[in-house]
């Protein structure tokens, strides 16, 4: 069974600090996809990034960066110079891999990390 663990329940930082959100996953599939979503106070889930299991290259997008390490089954998310607008719940998720072409793309979510950035 697939599993995603976000061990950090809540993180509180002061604006301009860097913060890393941890994500550890478990899967038996060789092909899988990892995601990060942001849920601001409004409730809607916002897609941040998708990474497939064959691409371990780290990615940077503005103040956001992601570190994917298959050796440790981790897909961590770092926000550099955090801002108050970054306050949200962040979810890491894992998609089932191919299953004879019948995969339905179901996502398994972690429990989420509540990030609060104080001014």
Partner 1 sequence: SQTIHQWPATLVQPVGSPLSLECTVEGTSNPNLYWYRQAAGRGLQLLFYSVGIGQISSEVPQNLSASRPQDRQFILSSKKLLLSDSGFYLCAWSGFREGYGYTFGSGTRLTVV
For partner 1, the closer of residues 13 and 48 by Cβ is 48
Look at the block and give the residue holding tokens 């899967």: 27
- Binding window for partner 1 (CB under 8 A); candidates: 18-26, 56-64, 72-80, 87-95: 87-95
For partner 1, the closer of residues 88 and 117 by Cβ is 88
- Number of residues lying near partner 1 (CB under 8 A): 27
Residues whose CB is less than 8 angstroms from the CB of residue 58 and which lie 6 or more positions away in sequence, other chains included: 65, 66, 67, 68
Q: Which of 99, 95, 119, 111 is nearest to 21 (CA)?
A: 111
For partner 1, the closer of residues 16 and 50 by Cβ is 50
Q: Which of 66, 48, 49 is nearest to 57 (CA)?
A: 66
- The span from the CA of 90 to the CA of 21, in Å, is 8
116 interacts with partner 1 by CB under 8 A: no
Q: Indicate which single residue of 15, 45, 67, 87 sits in contact with partner 1 (rule: CB under 8 A).
A: 45
Q: Footprint of partner 1 on residues 47-86 (CB under 8 A)?
A: 47, 50, 52
Residue 74 structure tokens: 């981790």
Residues whose CB is less than 8 angstroms from the CB of residue 105 and which lie 6 or more positions away in sequence, other chains included: 95, 96
Interface residues with partner 1 (CB under 8 A)? 31-33, 35, 37, 42-45, 47, 50, 52, 89, 91, 95-98, 103-107, 109, 111-112, 114
């Amino acid at each position: 069974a697939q599993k995603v663990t976000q061990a950090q329940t809540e993180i509180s930082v002061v604006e301009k600090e860097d913060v890393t959100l941890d994500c550890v996953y478990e899967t038996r599939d060789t092909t899988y996809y990892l995601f990060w979503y942001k849920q601001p106070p409004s409730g809607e889930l916002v897609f941040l990034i998708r990474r497939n299991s064959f691409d371990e290259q780290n990615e940077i997008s503005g103040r956001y960066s992601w570190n994917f390490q298959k050796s440790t089954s981790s897909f961590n998310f770092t926000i550099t110079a955090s801002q108050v607008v970054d306050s949200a719940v962040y979810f890491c998720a894992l998609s089932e891999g191919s299953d004879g072409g019948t995969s339905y793309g179901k996502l398994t979510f972690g429990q989420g990390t509540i990030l609060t950035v104080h001014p």
